[in-house]
Amino acid sequence: MRKTTTGAIARLVGGRLVGGATGEECVHGKASVDSRVIDSGDLFVAFEGEHVDGHDFVSAAEKAGAAAALVTKTDQALALPAIQVEDPLAALDILARHELESARASAEPPIVIALTGSNGKTSTKDLLHAILAPVGETIAPVGSRNNELGLPLTVLELTETTRFLVLEMGARGIGHISHLTDIARPDVSVVLNVGSAHVGEFGGVENIARAKGELVEALEESGTAVLNADDARVKAMGTRTRAHLAHFSLNDSLAEAYADHVRLDALARASFTLHMGGSELPIALTLTGEHHVKNALAAATAASAVGVRFEEIAAGLNAAEQRSPGRMQVSELPKGVTLINDAYNANPDSMRAGLNALAVLGRERHTIAVLGEMLELGDESAKAHRDIGAYAARSGIDVVVTVGEGARDIYEGVTETRGEHEGAVYVESLEDAPAVLETLRRPESTFLLKSSNGAGLAKLGESLVRAWGAESTKADNRGEKE
């Protein structure tokens, strides 16, 4: 947040100064709902949740250096100067909108790039960060902060010297992205794909397309819509904006960015030739999975739209590393075991992408797919899970382990395709999974963990990395004693 005062914040959001606030206290850092990541000058936002009350952590925020707090209640002694409001989320929206509008009125306004899509938002955002950060100060937070809370908190990280602001915008219904673009109107809108993520909440894929298209509708005529030419629903969004259109494609050489000569190495990392504006350069990604080629093309097209030179784009893609956890996060463990944690979210499209990457690794290694439930698929859920099981069975993966009752249909799909005892294992609970996976672990094997976040496989993967990784430490300690 650019430098302001508690008084200015109170006037802007219609709040009341409490906790001894004079209105002169200087706020010059970010806004945060987590007292553990507070820095000097930050604004701590105290939400009263169902299980945790942020007001209980105001004192911790004060000790960490927060300048002030945004609160809803004052029935306890406040350790910080504070602004009391009725709705902290609404107050954050107002603050973020004002902050961006003020920044845009400056001599060097930031450029806002917004991304949406059923898959790949976070990975594409991270690739954009790799391209843009060497060019100018870039805000593109680690992880996925694409909802009504995460987006304003990201906007409030703006400084006087920010050049690029990269925002993910997610949706679980019609109007959600419109709300987010009302807070942060994009200069460049990137739509990656229209898939079946959250189809149960949307009520159909066409409604998903309608919702994702709100991102291009928010553009002014001077903006740019970056669209996936290989997705018919996304390409059709070009009719919903007067902004300039720029396309990326794996198949269309007329697109602003396209790739050919795509190859995968033994670790399923893609290399390809990137074509833009009549020029071409080789790209070798360090990320696991062929699907990252499309993400890289989207990032390249968006970067070009904001004036980044082709050579800088190529250099950024070649230098990009895994940044956000839970997305094809590779851990190399003792005994040659590799664990890929891709369990932050899942839908049929991203499941197939992960299984494809594992199948490539299986050309030279023993492969185990550990699959959990895909949430929010509505009436299509049972069929979608069975189809994924059949797909996994046909992919050449050695063992498919399904975890939890919600994933039982995946197991059924595997066994219907492969047979009852041909590399299919069903585990009833997360608690039972570590012991089962231990029996499958052997030298030079690779595990892929894939599920929606709510299924819990991401934490299972983290615990396995700790447990199996600790074996090297024990071995080292034994060696020292000997």
Backbone angles phi, psi at 395, to 5 degrees: -85, -5
Q: Residue 351 and residue 438: Cα distance in Å, rounded?
A: 23
Q: Residue 68 and residue 297: Cα distance in Å, rounded?
A: 42
- CA of 273: how far to CAs of 172, 212, 223, 290, in Å? 36, 29, 28, 13
Q: Residue 58 and residue 92: Cα distance in Å, rounded?
A: 17
- Amino acid at residue number 162: T
Please enumerate in sequence order all residues whose Cβ is within 8 A of that of 32, keeping only pairs 6 or more positions apart, or say none: 38, 42, 43, 44, 45, 153
Q: How far is CA 115 from the centre of its chain?
A: 10
Q: Residue 26 and residue 65: Cα distance in Å, rounded?
A: 12
Q: Give the DSSP letter string of 248-310.
A: EESS-TTSSEEEEEEEE-TT-EEEEEEEETTEEEEEEEEEESTTHHHHHHHHHHHHHHTT--H
Does 123 appear as a known binding residue? yes
Please enumerate in sequence order all residues whose Cβ is within 8 A of that of 131, keeping only pairs 6 or more positions apart, or say none: 299, 300, 303, 308, 312, 313, 316, 317, 320
Nearest alpha-carbon partner for 118 in 50, 34, 211, 29? 211
Does 122 appear as a known binding residue? yes
Does 477 appear as a known binding residue? no
Does 118 appear as a known binding residue? yes
Cβ 224 vs Cβ 244: under 8 Å: yes
Cβ 111 vs Cβ 163: under 8 Å: yes
Q: Residue 244 and residue 305: Cα distance in Å, rounded?
A: 10
CA angle 463, 348, 236 (to 5 degrees): 130
Where would I find the H helices in 105-204?
121-132, 150-155, 176-183, 199-202
Looking from the CA of 480 toward its CB, the CA atoms found within 13 Å total: 6
- Amino acid at residue number 143: G
CA angle 157, 24, 107 (to 5 degrees): 45
37 burial level (CB within 10 Å; 0-12, 13-18, 19+) = exposed
Q: Which residue bears the tokens 């908190």?
A: 153
What residues form the annotated binding site?
117-123
Question: Residues within the annotated binding site for ATP?
Answer: 117-123
